Amino acid sequence: MALCRNISKEVSCDLAVTVEQQAERLELVNEFRKQGLGSVFEVPMKHRFDFAVIDKLARIIVMERIQIIHTHGYKSDIVGLLAARRAGIPCVCTPHGFENSSDLKLKLFIWAGCKAMIRADRIVPLSQQLMLDSRAVGAPEEKLRYIQNGVDLSEVEEERLRPKIKTEKRRIGFVGQLISRKNVHDILDVFNTLHQDHSDIELVLLGDGNERAALEAYAYTLPSRDDIHFYGFRDDRLELLHSFELFVMTSTLEGIPRCLMEACAMGVAVAAYDIPGVDQLVKHNVTGLLAPLGDKSRLIELWRQALETPEHTSALARAARDFVNEQYSAARMAAEYCSLFKELRDEQ
């Protein structure tokens, strides 16, 4: 959506999503329609491996005279590439992260997605680490193009200038998918430990995913459970983000997280694990606080430091906001994608 909102008027954007039976409508679809960014095509699937969706998508491409398909994620890379080939148009794949799950079915799905991705006309990772990861799975160098991820700063800035929501307790928060590589279990553990001597804090988790039920069940076993809140996907995500005193991440694998960029742009202090992707946005004690991956004891110390030294924490947050505004705007990202799309159109 950030790309569609900021791209040149020379490019029109439509959205296509696959819809499995009994699946809830994606919030992305609702927002895309609400903001009038383009047409939306919800392509039905009878089951997860219903390959009839490829023909359906190819027909949409032809009927709507779509010139380029841009895919995001393993499933869309597979379906999008095959539909693009059938319709005779170029395909651009943007990997957002290579899931490190141990689940065999997911590993096979990722393998198939990677095989599709490397056959795309252009592969456009959104971080330097993902450039390396893409090469590691066989992406040809001549197809790779680096376009650094961007955040829609105008939307964030508009929210930042509004008064914050008043909360009874100091709010620590996370925004993102509740999936294995986000490692939210560590957030719960760190919060629970800190809560023992900081009863004035609460934890707010925005987002959903296949681990949500297990995480909620685990949170219920903790002494701090009454101050742990799972909000799911929310239309007022940025308003809630603005209410955070501290934004936290414990991911084991990332590209360049959009939610982290938004937190920095909002001027919310950050404490996270030091991993590739995160380290492109956060420099320890310069634009935020970083602990070694998996070091919960150190992360507890950093959360405590952030809460107990507000002047230093505010200085880090201001530095992060300045850095993101300079380096990670959606307008810059959209301009680079526009150039790429024109290049592909001219090659046709």
pLDDT at 260: 94
Residue 165 DSSP symbol: P
Looking at the domain covering 153-327, what would its CATH class be?
alpha beta
pLDDT at 23: 67
Q: Facing residues of 16 across strands?
A: 41
Q: 2-150+329-347, what's its fold? A: Rossmann fold (3.40.50)
**The whole model's pTM is what?**
0.67
Q: In 3-state terms, what secondary structure has residue 18?
A: strand
> Can you tell me the distance from the alpha carbon of 324 to that of 210, in angstroms, rounded to the nearest whole number?
30
Query: What residue spans define the domains of the chain?
Result: 2-150+329-347, 153-327
What's the angle, vertex CA 272, arms to CA 270 and CA 274, rounded to 5? 125
Residue ranges of the chain whose pLDDT lies below 50: none
- Torsion on CA atoms 179, 160, 274, 221, rounded to nearest 10: -50
Phi-psi category of residue 242: left, alpha or beta, with phi > 0 → left and psi -120 to 50 → alpha: alpha
Which amino acid would we find at residue 6? Answer: N
Backbone phi and psi for residue 294, each to the nearest 5 degrees, phi listed first? 85, -5
What is the rounded radius of gyration, in angstroms, for the C-alpha atoms of the chain? 21
**Closest to 251 in 3D by CA, of 274, 280, 228:** 274
Burial zone of 102 (CB within 10 Å; 0-12 exposed, 13-18 middle, 19+ buried): exposed
Please state, as a whole number, how many other Cβ atoms lie within 10 Å of the Cβ of residue 160.
Answer: 17
> Is the separation of the CB atoms in 48 and 4 below 8 Å?
no
CA atoms within 13 A on the CB side of 54: 16
**Domains 2-150+329-347 and 153-327 agree in fold:** yes
